[in-house]
Amino acid sequence: MATTHKSLVDMSNLESAIALSVQSHRREQGKNGYWFDAISGDTFGSSLWTLRQKALGLDAAAIAAEYVREALQHLPQSKSLDVEVHQDGEILFCIINGDQKEIRFEL
């Protein structure tokens, strides 16, 4: 499965918002995360980084998909975005469909 890498400059506003939301670390148990989350009590980003700290089990794709959906909740378009995560050994691939576009990430 080929993954296309784009810079934020080459992405649409929605693609950029999705990329930042999914690839930023959400603050978990006082670790990592966007620094302003500690002050505001709000959360931004995804908990995907927590999956990298352990071996991926059979349920990793389902957990990753939930983390991605959670990270996208702040977007107005979140209800129209379809999230799929596929596992190939120790690699997770995420496909987000929305706004007649397909966005792919290697997680």
Q: Is the pLDDT of residue 2 over 80?
A: no
The predicted model scores a pTM of 0.80
Q: Among 1.10.3470, 3.10.310, 1.10.620, 3.10.450, what is the CATH number of 11-106? A: 3.10.450
- In the chain, domain spans: 11-106
**35-85 residue pLDDT tens:** 777 777 778 889 998 888 777 888 899 999 999 999 999 888 888 899 999
- Expressed in percent and rounded to 5, the helix, strand and coil fractions of the chain are 40, 25, 35
DSSP string, 20-57: HHHHSBPPBTTBSS-HHHHHHS---SBSGGGGGGS---
